[in-house]
Structure 1
């Protein structure tokens, strides 16, 4: 379903320079398409709470921070770094939902993680409430209820885009509460929450302004401890849209496997 990857290329790609993208979109592309959702989010939410990839048994009473074994990524649009999830540059520890609430401010971007699941992204509103995409619907819920035993963290700086002011982030999120899949154009919780915070049309399905020169490079850091492959190093995949790149990265987060490496590029 949805957009399939047009091309996945294996490269010996040199280290790309980093930089901050320009920030706000001046001309927001209006996308009014019905989009058939995958069952990605349904599968996540219907599972019982897992151990979240933790290296030890955790009691709900424990506050954290807790270490998590995860795949590490960096991503670029052309030669500009737009996404970074590297333990050497970021605190990737997570916290129990009760502790996370004491750290949140309105407009914050949150990520809940668990083993063998793609992460679930949310916008923190206030008074323990979050707004998020869940099973094809934009909902307002209690973070404690949504967490379902998963632990989380604030990921405001994961994307390198310039954030909108908090009041605009909340306006973006609250203005879509109650809408369902036939009325919205995001395919997963991360794309919706990131769009609320950054306002970039690239997070929308079909919202990409394609050009012949524009490509996205996802660098998967195989030595990060989460990918089930021997050896180390960095493997780079190429995508034509941010949406395609996000979907592949979330699939790797859930499976811990790079199918392109295991099967020689065959799905």
Structure 2
């Protein structure tokens, strides 16, 4: 059984992730993956499976926030469903393929990839400058191949895809608000497909545990590469705190907070990678 301290920790983590998601418009993977990695190491999970379970669990947590975000943007009429329909095929293909690849990659390499991507995200967040480019026209073939790449990267580093999808759509003449709303809609098939991928590809995995005494609760509630108690309790609070973060964005210095958060992403990613060395 889960102890009360662990449950409270997951609830607190969900509230932080949800609030930041609403406040800064970022996915929760940047915080969830390092936090879950620390928890799994503390619980006795071996480093061989550490990143796989952290990524799979994080993607499952993102399902709830993705759905909540999708619903909010749909109510404002900011989702271009024709784009979602075309890109979803590529998203599903790329995302599921990436989970298969990830299941056969060493945790250390996954951690390094995650850290590099978060570093790149943090630098972009600190600069916070829009690069003006000549608008391009969307076509179905381009959307499919791009979506496959977005899905693959999202599954490997546990993001909802917004940091990749929004710039792509804006560059292809989609209105900013509709680009954000459409990206939110695309985030749902990314998170659902990635979760299924980590479930299926980790179903028969020979999970390694460094300390069987402390890792029993992890073993009992882990299916594939997804640790479900974390998903349930993190999702509960993140669902309710995301709207609070969105409201706070109107009163807090978001620009300063984004730069602070970017620095935090870099530190968390580096520390997580060092844990696996």
Could you state the TM-score of these two structures normalised by the residue count of structure 1? 0.26
Greater relative contact order, per chain length (Cα 8 Å cut-off, separation 6+): 2
Give 1 or 2: higher strand fraction: 1
